[in-house]
Every structure is written in C-alpha cells, then in structure tokens.
Amino acid sequence: MPGVSIETREQVRSVLGGDGRLADWSVGAEGPGFLELARGPVHLVLAWPEVWRDRALVEPHLTRARSGNYSLILVGRGEELAAADIEQLAEDGVRITPLAVPTSQGALALTLGSLADAERRILERAEVELALERAMYEKDLLIDIGRALSQLRDREALYNLILRRAREVTGADAGTIYEVVKDEKSEDNPDPEKRVLVFVESQNDSVEMQVKKFEMPVSPKSIAGTCVLEGEVINIPDLYALDAPGSGTNPWGFIHDRSFDTQHGYQTRSMLTVPMISARNQVIGVIQLINKRARGANKLTQPADFDSKVLPFDFVSSRFAFTLASQAGIALENALLYKEVTALFEGFVDASVTAIEARDPTTSGHSRRVAQLTVQLAEVADRSPYDFRLGPDDPDQIRYAALLHDFGKVGVREHVLVKAKKLYEHDRALVEARFDFIRKSLESERNERKLRYLLEASRDQVAAQLEAVDREAEVKLKEMDEIIKFVLQANQPTVLEQGGFERIADIAARTFVGADGQARPYLTHEEATALQVMRGSLTEEERKEIESHVSYTYKFLKQIPWSRNLLGVPDIAGAHHEKLDGTGYPQRKTAIEIPPAAKMMTISDIYDALTASDRPYKRAVPRDKALDIIKSEVNGKKLDAALFDLFVEARVWEAVKVES
C-alpha cells in the first residue's frame, strides 16, 4: 500500500515482511520508542522522540552504533527534528540519519535501502581493510620467518622453528617434519640414490606425546613419500573420510591403521603435506601439518572436537605453507651445507695437525692440548674481572688458532725440527769414529815404539823402555777416553742454562794425523759450535730456523680465506711466541700489540712443552717446576701476570690429561 502514511512504530512494523522493497527487512529487536530492523549483516534502529530526547535511553543505541554495522535513524516530525541537537548525538563518528514523519512506504523503503547500501559498503571496506591488514601481517610474518631461518645454523633449532612457524601461518594443531637422506644402512642395495625419510621434529598443541625417532623408505605407499617423489603439495580434507582400500581413492590405506591415533587419543583428520625444496630443486624434507583448527578453537581434547573444530586446509593456508616450505628448504640446505663445510674444515684442520705432528712424533698431541688449555683459560678470563670477553665465535677462533699455531713447522727442515742432541746422529757417529781412529792411532803408535825398542835396544834396556811406553800410552788413552766421555756428555741438551763447556774449545784445538798424513782437528768448527750450545740442542742458526716456523704459520694461515668470524686466526697463531717486553719473535711485538688470546696461548704452549711426556731432547718437567719456570718469565715482564694467576687459580691444566 504505497499510499499509506507511516508515522508510528506499529505502522512501520505493519509494512515489513510483505511484498515490495521492504519485504526482506525483519524486526531484530524492539521496545518502547525504538524498533530495530535487520537485513543480512546490516542493522538499523529507528528511534522516536521519547527515546532520542532522553540521553540515558539513547546512549545504548549510540554505543552499538559505534561498533560499525549499526546506524541510528531519528524519527520525528519536522519541527521536532529541527529542534533536535543531532550534531551532539553524532559525536565520536556515530552515523545518524533524520527521518521526518509522516512519510510514505516508498520514502521509508528508499531511506532504509540507502542506509543499507551505505552500511554494506562500509562493511565491505572493513573486510577489504581487514584482508589487507591480514595480508600485510602475513607478508611481514614471512619476512620475519625468512630472516629467522637465514640466521639459524643449528639443525634441531631450525626444524623446531620451521614447524612452529608453519603451524602458525596455517592454524595447524599439530605437525611433523621429515628429512630426506640417503639410505646408508642397506647393505644389499647397490643403488646410491635410494633415500629414506627420517623423523626429526613433532609438535602437538592438544596432546603430549613422545615419539621415538624412526625412518621409513621414500615410497608412494606413504603420503610423505609421495610428496617427496612428486614434489607437490598434498592436501587431504579429511583422512577419516577416505574410502576403503581397493576403491582407488585411498592409495595410502590410512583408515586401516589408526593405531597411532588410538594410542594417543587423537584423530588425524585434515592433513597438508608440503615438500621442502632446495635451491637445486631437490626435495630435502617434508612438512606435514595436521588438523587446521577453526577460529576460536585452542585445543582438540574431545572426540567431538575433531568433527566440529577441525577444518580442511584452504588455498591460502596451502599457499603460505608452500611459501614457507620453500624458505625452509633453502634454510635447511644452507644449514646442511654449513655443517658439511664445517666438517670439511674440521677435517682439514685435523689432517693439518696430524701432518705437522707426523714430522715430529715426539710432540704428538701437543697442538690439541694447547688448544684445550687456551680455550679453557679464555673461558676463565671471560668470567673474571680481566679485561677480556668472549664473543659467540671467539671459542672457535681461539681453538683453530691454537690447533694451527705450529702449522709453519712444515716449512722447517725435518732434521732441524727433530734434532734431539746438540750433534745430529750422523755427526755424532762421525765424531765417535774419529775418536776411535785417534785411539787406534795412539795404540798403533805405542806398538810401533815398542817394536822399535825391541829391535834397537839391548836386552837389559828393553823391559824398562817397554814399561815406560805402556805407561805413557795408558795416560794418553785414558785422556782420550775422558775426552770421548766429555764430548758425549756435552752432546746432551739441557733445559736450563749451564756452564762448563769451555773445555770443548781446548779439545777442538787439538789435532791428530789422518790417514792421508794431514793434521786434522779433534772437532770441526761446526761440531765445536754445536757442542758449546748453552741451552737446548740448537745452534743459533738452527734456532732461527725453528723460530721461523711462526712466520711460516702466519704466512700460510693468511692465505686461507677465513670467514668473518675467524679473521683473527692468523694474528693469534702468529703471535704465540711474542713477549710483553718485545723480546719475543718473529715481530718483536709488545704487550699492547699482542692479541689477548695469543697471550693465553703463550702460557699454555710453554706449560705443555715443559710438562709433556719425555722427549729425546728433554725429560718431562713436574707441574710445580713448570709453573715456577713460567713464573720466572712472568717476573721478567715477558708473560701476562694476570692471565698466569688465572691459569694457576683455576687449575686450567686439569682441562687436559698430560702424562708426567
């Protein structure tokens, strides 16, 4: 009835629900002075003067109007609306529309339709804004995830983060990660490409479960195996709804094996299986997400929950899961490559240490013990007031520097490197042979003189002359024996400086007649120089050659393209023989120029060299005596006193077992 005049609440109600433009409107709520109309998500409230004039009565409607899908219509005669303070009521963004009555059904329908369209556009805009905000959130989330994944190197932590984030972006209640590896256990399988899936991570928000690590073959008989073989996302809305085997719709036979679910009181319903693909386009892992929760569902604890609160994984979830899996695949590949590179480098370092010590087997284990001692001292210093703090990469840097501190010995001639006595073995043998020749010459001379006396002297003179010759010869032979004994004693190296080798010069000045009739010295200049060494077994030239190993160490290590976290290795290793007072080598650095880690290594190196098991050129020194020797160096301002005190107080030597 288009011609009907409408003014009251009852009249508005009477024209609703019939034919025409008001047919799709319904009454949502009503009360004295107001009427709520609803069409879909849009709600309009008509309020008559007895309501909108009373602030207490109109306030609930104003509050609801602020929610966004609710408009307020002030109904009244023209003069009433003109006197109304509509601007005051429309504070805080409340949408208010005046409707003058009496009005026609067409005008009412037009007003309601216009407001409904406006409200619908507002709602649609809100949905778009919400979707945009969600998209921005998800984009930022993926960026954050990518950043976090790129920073992790520990595989277990990486697996945990990948699965946790995958569940977060998809709303999955649970999930599992499998890693694809080569099957190294199959002895009868000649195919090197055969692979297995290794269970590495599992999470579940609803039930606590301890799942043992296991392996299964990459096979089309499993969902994860099919995902690996096809390299595609597998989205199953409801595993429990799959048809029985034999129908051709369930290639995995899941419904015949629910033992896992039964054991844990859980139901694996919706499942999203996503491949993790490496940069080389190889599937290196699988993310399996289980049970997408409906909005508002926190846990699935009752059997009915799996029917009412579990949804299929939608397209958006699948897309985000695949994007995250792609990021995860690259991150996992990087972690695996990092592990391989680390293992390769560790192997190189270990092989280098073995090669160094193979040239001098008596020092076997020295580099590794020095590494343990130095790292231990660094950790002690880090916890002390000493001005040194360990960064996250410093322990590795210090360990590598200590392991390779003698790397330069590969550039030292082996016979110098392993020299045990002051004379080389072939030189000692030559000296002994020479002295044996001299002794034989003295005996030959005695026999010749005795023969001459026998031929020339009378019978009465012979006895006395022969006795005199024997006495003289015995004196010379005894002296010769003492010389030999002294030379062999002088050939022994010493740890501490000792005197008493002046006699070597006197012995070297003596001569004997060689087989060619030429006068020759008892000791050559080189032999005498070696035997007069006051400390150790090396001549000055040999000592310089040994000391050159530090320069070689620095030179060799500097050629290695160290990563940013290990750039200090050459400088630390190349300074382990420097002294605080500048008397060390090879660069005569002073305290301020020596890296703290190198100062620690110097103490550790000296301690191990003194206390290590017996060597051909020295005996092992007891711990207390070794500490006294190092203390003397500290008192001489050559070693860091604070670090030495920490070494002693923390009993750092207990970090390794040294035979003494």
Euclidean distance between CA atoms 369 and 375, whole angstroms: 10
Smallest CA-to-CA distance from 272 within 262, 286, 260 is with 286
Confidence (pLDDT) at 153:
67
Euclidean distance between CA atoms 35 and 255, whole angstroms: 55
Q: How many CB atoms lie within 10 A of CB 83?
A: 11
Confidence (pLDDT) at 386:
92
The residue ranges of DSSP E strands in 218-340, in sequence order, are 234-236, 271-277, 283-293, 310-311
In this predicted model, what pLDDT tens digit does every residue of 220-254 receive, in sequence order? 888 899 999 999 999 998 888 775 555 456 666 55
Confidence (pLDDT) at 659:
45
In this predicted model, what pLDDT tens digit does every residue of 412-450 receive, in sequence order? 777 777 777 888 888 888 888 888 888 888 888 777 777
Mean pLDDT score of the chain? 83
Is residue 192 scored above 70 in pLDDT? Answer: no
Contacts of 104 (CB under 8 A, 6+ apart): 2, 3, 4, 5, 6
What is the SS3 assignment for 38?
strand
Comparing 639 with 423, the larger pLDDT belongs to: 639
Q: What DSSP assignment string belongs to 186-217? A: -TT---TT-EEEEEEEEEESS----PPP-EEE
Highest mean pLDDT: which of 251-265, 348-362, 438-452? 348-362
Average pLDDT (480-494) is 84
What is the SS3 assignment for 311?
strand
Element spanning 444, H or E: helix 425-456
In this predicted model, what pLDDT tens digit does every residue of 3-62 receive, in sequence order? 568 888 888 888 886 657 787 888 888 888 999 888 888 888 888 999 888 888 888 888
Inter-helix orientation angle 315-359/394-403, to 10°? 30
Confidence (pLDDT) at 578:
94
Give one word for 641, left, alpha or beta, with left for phi > 0 and alpha for psi -120 to 50: alpha
Give CA separation, 97 vs 7, 29, 32, 115, 300, in Å: 16, 19, 20, 9, 47
What is the SS3 assignment for 543?
helix
